[in-house]
Structure 1
């Protein structure tokens, strides 16, 4: 305390979210959020969302007359997986805005000239790739999906750890797939029809059906289609599990030794998908995983854990 009366009456805690691991004061940063009149020397911030990669924290002490200087800011890493949809490589019939994708039947025709200019500007350009907290950011590193592969990928890749995100489809959505793929997925490849993509496919065209797909093999699931899908990826443990995001009931599990970084992958025909990222892995998932540690692992076959 700067005054002779150094007795601390309370503390002030300030925090702000950031995407930078470094100096706390960076241009265009979010403003500080303040918690005042903290009487103890410990405090728990609750209700936070993992929608950024780091958080800055600083504190200062106060007596009844004045406040002391702020402590040096501390930058803490958040562990949740944050990504947007990559509109630079999505199919031209898909309208992509951050974490939302919608199918447009005439989208490709209206953007052919744009596509030509884009391909011309990309020739000779090397892919840009950065790494953030064990997750590789992939930007402009591939051609657009084409043909009947109405696909869009996430812009951050998973290289390690456990991650979770959720997907909600519009009620009028006729057909969509949710899963992961290696970034080498071909521009005409459909999710689940190659050995480098894994997905859950929902078909609402004539009747509601749910199926797991990988390597051009399909396993029909006799399970109601949930209103919201949860995707849990344990890269190091070789596990990809789809959940009913509301009830947290597992729908299907793929077990595979992943040999390349994984990108979240989505395919849609008629309708739209909204993706929620930056979510903490629910504790019930890690508990289920511990119970399954004794299960034998498949190197290539589909494994259904929902009976």
Structure 2
């Protein structure tokens, strides 16, 4: 609804909410059918993203040059609270990267494909992030971004020469990219539940596989139920904040686990992390930076912590119930 308002189209919140429910159900159906079908859709969206936003918006905007000098560009005089909020959002820039690891079970050569995918995604994310941030601070008023963060890329496209030609296709791609991100979340989170159940950390029914499609339909149904519950309030930014904070907690734990595994010599893969005294520098740096991001995100979004706490308690209850029942791993 916020994005459509940029085109002068005002959608009632009830209609927008119903549409979001329909998209959630459609994504459930797509992921239920299979990973290949989901991947094909994602590839098409990725190519369109690179062409329309990467090349025609970011690359073109940078080629035309910035109009105000860095590092502040046109955003001088921004207050300290907003700077802290900006740092917290910057720390979330790679939330969703964990989906690559969670989908390792779907890869034919995970020890090679997962590191390559992570490097490619991180490199493209950094290039996009730097370019978009520079253009945003140079061409778009700070208050506009604060009031309408979902349409920030659209505002950049509109500021370019012949930007009126880019407004519609960029807006469509932005919406489809968000749907693609949700699709990745469906697949990754359902596989995570499946893997935890297969390892005996969650009840076995989470590892149930559909007879025809061979996908974890129970875990997918749980993801759908959670998505609908979070969409019900109609606060999309609330969902983003919850997901971001939860992901940062996950990243801190992964960084600490990397340090432990490298120290034990139990890490296998196509890439090696540099070490000093047997301590992984990547893990150490990741733990420090993600912890800082987590603290900032918690500080700026402390009102949503009760939802995170309920989520954590629900997961803990499921894990403890599995242990009491003596659920073993699935061979």
TM range (shorter): under 0.3
Structure with greater helix share of residues: 2
TM-score (norm: length of structure 1): 0.23
Higher-Rg structure is: 1
**Higher relative contact order, structure no. (Cα contacts within 8 Å, ≥ 6 residues apart):** 2
Taking structure 2 as the reference length, the TM-score comes to 0.22
Task: Flag the structure with higher strand content.
Answer: 1
